[in-house]
Each structure stands twice: as structure tokens, then as C-alpha cells.
Amino acid sequence: MKNSKSLIRLSAAFMASSLLAVSSVHAAVQTQLLQFEPTPVSPGLAEFSLVGPAAGAQSFVASPGSVGNGDGNLAPSLQTPGGLQVDTPLNVVAPATAGEVIDASGSHFYDVTMSFSAPTGKPSLVSTGAFVLLNPSLNLAVQQFTDGIFTMTATDGTVLLTGTVQENSISSPLTSTSSAFQSALVTYTGGAIFTALEQATTATTGSASISMTSLDGPVAANFVGPGVGVLGAAPATINPYDSNGTGVFDVANLPEPSSLGIVLMAGTMGLRRRR
């Protein structure tokens, strides 16, 4: 597996459009709450993985590239993989957090750890049912997943943001080495970024998309029969893989972008590097 940040960015718009195609809409306008990416670039160190047997239930998990190693206070040029850079237009001023830089565009956190956990008494982000193949001309397979809980933690252990992800899916072009995890309903529940969000707006829900590239190999799912209408059932599961990844979490509404430097997400989202 190799890391290609340019491929990640190029695939972002496509993956965002697939989110619109396969998930329900919970708000007319979504604005970006945060974006994340591996910093430094971590070739050979996956940020996300799909694990489990190719013919059975699989789980979507955060991998070592998404785990910080405590060097967030160092200059970015001196940091080592893994860990994520998290950027938000909100000014997160309390609690004081190691690895944070605040400037005119918002707050930036280095060496952040992202993890997933299970809701009480339930599995976390486990595939359900069979793949569904969208119109064959699109060559795009979609797999649904159970609910999960996500947590983003600063380099010093401060919880930055936590919440639940629901109505989850992974969409995968069958012949590609890219894929996308999407959550159509994210409910934010805690952390320093959440506190700043509460001070800015009453909105606490949104959606999320994680764009994954540099998979171990082309997505491979075998389909039987033409299906019925636009959607057809696919009795196969997708092969497990490791991937590099970047992502966006948004929120249903925030104050005017001019007051917070927010990038409005209008149909498609462009992941960009703030360096």
C-alpha cells in the first residue's frame, strides 16, 4: 500500500457525490465542522481498515495511522507518523490543549488520535446484509454498517470531539483502489470542539465522509444476476483492505461563514491541506 495525498484529494469530490447518492438528507445546508488528514504523511501506515472474512461480516476500524504518538507539541516537520491533523473553523480556547495552534482560520490540532467504539450492547460498525450494486453503468457497490461511536483525542489525551455515527455505509467503485465511508447522521455529544460548537450554535447533528485511497488492491465483489430495477442484490462481501484516508465532519448549521472562516459544503466537498 502506498500513500498518495494527491489521489486522496482527487477522489474526494467523487466520494462526496456517492454520499449524496446513497444516504438520506438530514438538513438542507451543511457546513464544515472539521476536516482531518494524516500529518505527517504516513506511507505504509494505514489510517483505516476493513477487517473480517471476505465471505462474512466485516468491521470498519481506525488503524495505526490514526493513532497519535504524543509528539503533537513538536514542530510539524519534526513529528513522526501516526496521528492526524484536525482543523476546525471554531476557536477552541478551553481547555488549553497541547498540540493546538489557533490562527485567523480557526483551531488546528496535531497528533490527534481517532478511534471507534461500540454503543452499549451493540456491535460497532459491522457490515449488515449484502452489498447493493447501483446501476451497473456506475459500477459502484454499497454496503451498510451498524452504528458506532467515534472519539478524537488530542496529543495530551484531551477529548476534542465525540459522538455517534448512524446510517453508515461504504461505497466502492468495483475496479478502483479507492473507497468511501459515509455517515448520514452524526450526533455530536462531547469534547472541547463540541463545547465551542455549543457556544456558536444550537446544532449538534450533521454527517461525515471519509475518503480512502491506496487500498491494497482493486475492490473485488462478485455479483450474481442482473438484479431488479435500479438496485440489485449482491450476495458477496467486499474484500478486507487497509487504506490511507482523510475526512470531513459537518454540522447542520453554523453562524455566517464570514464570521468563522467556514467552508460551505455545497453538494461536493473538496478536502484541502491547510499548510
Closest CA to 166 of 141, 191, 145: 145
- Global pTM value: 0.80
Asked whether residue 79 carries a pLDDT value surpassing 90, the answer given is: yes
pLDDT tens per residue across span 31-62: 999 999 999 988 789 999 999 877 678 899 99
The structural domains of the chain, with segments of one domain joined by +, span 5-265
Say how far apart CA 73 and CA 147 lie, in whole Å.
Answer: 33
pLDDT tens per residue across span 240-249: 889 999 999 9
What nine digits make up the cell of 10? 482527487
Q: How far apart are the first and last CA of the chain?
A: 25
Least trusted range by pLDDT, from 10-14, 58-62, 76-80, 223-227:
10-14
Say how far apart CA 216 and CA 92 lie, in whole Å.
Answer: 37
113 vs 255, which has greater pLDDT? 113
What nine digits make up the cell of 142? 454499497
